[in-house]
Amino acid sequence: MKKIYFLLIAFSFCVLSVSAQIPNSGFENWTNKGAYEIPTQWGTLNNTTATDNVFTVTKASPGSPGSFFMKITSKTIGSTVVGGIAVCGELDSINKKAKSGFAYSSQPASFTGKWQHMIFGTSQGSVKAILTKWNVALNKRDTVAIAAKTLTGMAMSWANFTVNFVYFNNDTPDSCIIELRSSGNAPADQDYLWVDNLGFTGVATGIDVLNTDNDAIEVYPNPTTAVVNFRSKNLSKVENVILFDILGNKLLEWKEIPENGIDISKFTKGNYFVQIKTNTALTIKKISLQ
């Protein structure tokens, strides 16, 4: 039975050397765009909402620590609520997803920072860090690891957060995308997420497989054109099954493996990940939809 170990480095100089690789991680630097500002080296929707004099990302003080922090707020323009979003890198204002991130080549254990947040509807925001590596053979990016968390409840004063990375393989990444959202898919006016002091902590070591028994569950057929099935002696002990896209967005979730398999034909052709958690192991399998 294989095991995975995470070594959390407690020495401050080690943590600082990793954290410093997130551009403008404390939001002390802002770039003036005339009618508005954006956090330097971060992408926002401010350029698309400026014509309405509405800005979903703004500078505020005092920071925790430092002079400033970043406010991400969902706001109403006409009859539409625009969800607040910020990405470390370049943001595609059309599909509201990251187009690029920043160079990064470590294997941290956790994504950390400070936040305050609240929603006024039912659609919670999220924080996410995605480690990727360019696949020369396939001319595309492969996901190495994801640290993602949907917000729950509210945090009305500064609180620390830690989101552990889930590693899909033992590759050394070459880039990272950080995506912060004040709302989910159905934003409400004034949903907010305030963030500061972002960083990575610890070093993940011994990553050769994600789970304790990666061959225990078979996913077939793979590639598939529609339905994927599962075969294992431990399927009766499955606690949950989650389907992710290549960027770590959760698409579907079940409390047990569906009897007739999982139909993914409604999704775009490409690669996906399915995570199967049992009472003894966590397995992630890559699925190709053709």
Q: Per-domain residue ranges for the chain?
A: 5-205, 218-289
pLDDT band at 219 (very low <50, low <70, confident <90, very high): confident
Q: What spatial distance separates the first Cα and last Cα of the chain, rounded to whole Å?
A: 33
Domain 5-205 - what CATH class? mainly beta
Question: Mean pLDDT across the chain, nearest whole number?
Answer: 84
From the number of C-beta atoms within 10 Å of its C-beta (0-12, 13-18, 19+), residue 152 rates as exposed
pLDDT at 65 over 90: yes
Phi, psi of 7 (to 5 degrees): -105, 115
Higher pLDDT, 23 or 141: 23
pLDDT score for 29 = 98
What does the pLDDT look like over 98-129, one tens digit per residue?
A: 888 999 999 999 999 999 999 999 999 999 99
pLDDT band at 162 (very low <50, low <70, confident <90, very high): very high
- What the block records as the tokens of 259 is 């009897």
pLDDT score for 14 = 34
What does the pLDDT look like over 67-97, one tens digit per residue?
A: 999 999 999 999 999 999 999 989 988 888 8
Residue 226 to residues 239, 260, 272: CA-CA distances in angstroms? 24, 12, 12
Distance of CA 207 to the CA centre of its chain: 20
Higher pLDDT, 269 or 42: 42
What fold is seen in the domain 218-289?
A: Immunoglobulin-like (2.60.40)
How many other CB atoms are there within 10 angstroms of residue 129's CB atom?
Answer: 28
pLDDT score for 193 = 98
In our burial notation (b when 16+ CB lie closer than 10 A, e otherwise), range 182-206 reads bbbeebbebbbbbbbbbbbbbbbee
Q: What is the mean pLDDT of residues 178-184?
A: 95
Q: Where are the alpha helices (DSSP H) in the chain?
A: 12-19, 46-49
pLDDT score for 247 = 65
Q: What is the mean pLDDT of residues 221-235?
A: 82
pLDDT at 154 over 70: yes
| % of the chain exceeding 90 in pLDDT | 53
Distance of CA 212 to the CA centre of its chain: 24
pLDDT band at 18 (very low <50, low <70, confident <90, very high): very low
